[in-house]
Chain A
Amino acid sequence: MPDLGRYATEVLSAYAVTLLLLVGLIAASVWKARKVLRQLREAENRRDPSA
C-alpha cells in the first residue's frame, strides 16, 4: 500500500465510490439480462413448446 499521507481519505474514498458504482452497474446489467433472457425463453416455450 503506498503512503498517501494526509490525502489518504480523499484518494481512497474516490476509488471506493468508483468501484462501488462500476460493480453496481455491471451487477444491474447482468441481473436485467438474465431476467429478460429467462422471460424470453418462457414466452418462446409457450409459443412453441416443442422448440
Chain B
Amino acid sequence: MSIWEYANPRKFMATSGALLPWVSALAAILVIGGLVWGFFFTPDDFRMGSTVKVIYIHVPAAIMGSSAWFMMLVTSLIWLIRRHHVSALAAKAAAPVGMVFTLIGLITGAIWGQPMWGTWWEWDPRLTAFLVLFLFYLGYMALWEAIENPDAAADLTAVLCLVGTVFAVISRYALLFWNQGLHQGASLSMDAQENVADVFAYPLWTCVIGFLFLFVALVLYRTRTEIRARRLRALIQRERMA
C-alpha cells in the first residue's frame, strides 16, 4: 500500500467517493456548531466588545487561505517531479476554494479593523502579503483557463505556485519577520502567553477544524469534477479524430 496509488484516477475516485459524505458531514457539524457556539454562547471581549465574534470566521478563513496555497504547493511539486495528473488537478481544484477563504479573510478583516483600528485597510506587511496572495490566486486561476494544453497549464501554474508561496509564508509569519504593523500576533498558538482566552479559544478551534474539513470536502469534490472533465476532454478529442 503506497500513497502513490491515489495518483491513479480510478483509485482516487473510489476512495474520495467513499470519504466525501463523512468529511462533508463532519465539516457541516463543526462549522455550524462552532459558529453557533461562538456567535450565541460566548461573551463580549472587554476591549473589542461584540466584534470579537468576527474572530470565529476571520481567523479560520485566513488560516485556510494560506494553508490552501501550501497544499497547492505540495501537489504542484508532485506534478513537477512525478507527473501525476491527479495532483495537478487537485491543485487546480483547490485554487478557487483557497481564493474564497482568502477573500473572506480580507473582507472580515476590513470589517473588523474599521471599528478597532479606525481604518478599513493598512499597508502593513501581513495585510499586504495577504492581498498579494489573493491576487496570486486570481492569476493562478486565470492561467489555468488561458492555456489550452492541460499539461502546459499544469507546468506553468505549478511554477506560479512556487513563486506565490513567498507571499503565503509572509502572510502567515510576517510578524516574525517585521515587528511592525497594526495586525496582532497569532490568535491560536501553542504558547499560552499569546493565546486568546479559553472561552473564545474552544469555539475558535472548533471553527478552524470545521473550516479545514470544509476545505478538504470541497477539494475532494472539485478534484473529482476535474478528473471527469479531463476524461470528457479525452473522449471529445477521440471523437474529433475518428
Q: Chain A: residues with CB nearer than 8 A to chain B?
A: 1-8, 10-11, 13-15, 17-18, 21-22, 24-26, 28-29, 32-33, 36-37, 39-40, 43-44, 46-47
Contact = CB atoms under 8 A, between A and B. Distances in A.
Contacts of B8: none
Nearest to A44: B235
Interface residues of B, number: 37
B122 interface: no
A33 B96 CA distance: 14
Contacts of A24: 100
Q: Name the 10 nearest CB pairs between A and B, nearest first.
A: A4-B50, A43-B235, A33-B225, A14-B108, A14-B111, A18-B57, A40-B232, A25-B100, A14-B54, A7-B51
Given A7-B51, A15-B57, A33-B221, A46 B239 contact: yes
Given A21-B100, A25-B100, A11 B239 contact: no
A24 B39 CA distance: 22
Binding site secondary structure of chain B: helix
Interface in B67-114: 96-97, 100, 103-104, 107-108, 111-112, 114
Nearest to A43: B235
Contacts, number: 95
Contacts of A5: 44, 49-50
B204 interface: no
Contact of B53 (A11, A17, A40): A11
Contacts of A26: 218
Interface in B19-65: 35, 39-40, 44, 49-51, 53-54, 57-58, 61
Contacts of A4: 50, 53
B111 A17 contact: yes
A10 B235 contact: no
A39 to B, nearest CB: 6
Nearest to B93: A29
